[in-house]
Amino acid sequence: MTLRIAWLGGAPMEEAGGAPGVVRDLLDGLAREGHEIDCYFPGAGHQLPARIAAHGNLTVTWGSSKLKGNRWYNKLPVGTFASGLSSRALSSLRLRREIARRHRERPYDLIYQNQWIESVGVPSSVLRSAPLVVRPDTESASELRCLIAERELSFRCQPRYVFFVVAAILFLRAQLQRVMIRRASLLVCISRVFRDHLVEDYDFPRGSTAVVPNPVCLERFAFNAAKPPGEPPIVLVPVRVSVRKGLEDVVEIAKLLRDRGVRVRLRVVGGASLWSDYTKLLEDLPGETAEYAGRVAHGDMPAEYANSDMMLLASKFDPCPMAVLEGLACGVPIVATTEVGSTEGVEATVAQRLQPGDVEGMARAIEQMLDRVRAQPEQMRSLARAEAERLFAPEVICGQLSAALERLVADGGPNGAGAANGAGGGGRDGVAAAVRNGSHA
């Protein structure tokens, strides 16, 4: 089934990692599936990735709003965070008129809202005849819960006013998200643990969800199965240096490994976010077993993975971090918490999962994983790469997503009846079947 899709969300970037890379791979994959996609990107335009521009069945409309630098409202990082939200909303308001106009002329089968739960870019008039599919990267209720739980860490690392400003913004966003998520006929969740949070935090019907992880562009990452373990072996910690990433546990794990005389080097890479900076915590890393290397550009991350022997992610909330997918693509096994959604379904030999906060368990798991890497380096790296190919290759993920969208439309419109042109999609009765027919349960 060929679908006509209105796509809203952030824009793709040329051969980038992170969220822009995910957008690129999803759009490329859905276009290859044959769907006709009109993209509406907030903000000023930029050059599209070559493989996106090459698709004749994909068009792009840019918003006209652009966040300006050197203004009073973004002199501080938290101000840039707040003004960025406002800029995106204003740009989305401009785009919604164009979406409504094109829908009147030639109706869409569905509206696909990528990355964000709340968006003013979806016209209510369109939702009466076409279903809304929402695929968020995160949600504010869980972000706020983690921020409050870690308030003492925040007070230690940043001025107190930052905590209260950010808490107020997250609280308001959570209330808005609780209302706006109700418009969705299908909620595409990037991991099962993330779906659990969304269902619990916003009382969203589980039967109206599908779980489809992020894809990873495997070609970006070199894979050398024959690479011998380092001496000492390097445990990469690729992480945003901010709230909910478990950095306080990383510090304690490094201290435990030092006290036990384990020959290892924890290498923390990453920068702070606009509204949370935990860099001060990393001053407590023991120099004997750990180091903080600072922010690393996306283009340099493949080399970081290639030089590592395993990864550690101690996050308290992390729906589907790309670091796991990219590390596995380079053949790097991982120790992580059960809140790291990217590890779901990965063979336990190369992805050991423990409860958040289990410092002793993670330290022990690192020792066990390094023993396996030393004993069978080629087999471990090959299995990690094979898991990335099996679970996260773009053609696999986009096939699952396409099947879920097609099933939604085939099941009828928002009010339970399909439109004559195929527009509309599915209310909430048939969505569980979409999970069975192309998505992870």
- Quick one: pLDDT at residue 97? 86
The span from the CA of 261 to the CA of 367, in Å, is 11
SS3 content of the chain, % helix, strand, coil (to 5): 45, 15, 40
**pTM, rounded to two decimals:** 0.87
pLDDT band at 332 (very low <50, low <70, confident <90, very high): very high
The model's pLDDT over 76-126, given as tens digits with 9 standing for 90+, comes to 555 554 554 555 556 667 788 889 999 999 999 999 999 999 887 788 889
Of 412 and 24, more confident:
24
User: In this predicted model, what pLDDT tens digit does every residue of 119-176 receive, in sequence order?
Assistant: 877 888 899 999 999 999 999 999 999 999 999 999 999 999 999 999 999 999 999 9
CA distance 365 to 370: 8
Give the contacts of 52 (CB within 8 A, at least 6 positions apart). Answer: 12, 24, 27, 28, 31, 58
Q: 45-54, 162-171, 323-332: lowest mean pLDDT where?
A: 45-54
Provide the CATH topology of domain 220-392: Rossmann fold (3.40.50)
Residue 426 reports pLDDT greater than 80: no
Residue 74: the pLDDT is 47
Give the Cα separation of 308 and 253 in Å (integer).
18
Taking Cα atoms as reference points, which of 134, 26, 7 lies closest to residue 393?
26
Residue intervals in the chain for CATH 3.40.50.2000: 4-215+393-436, 220-392
For domain 4-215+393-436, give the fold. Answer: Rossmann fold (3.40.50)
CA 287 – CA 269 distance, rounded (Å): 15
- Smallest Cα–Cα separation from 10: which of 55, 44, 36, 34? 44
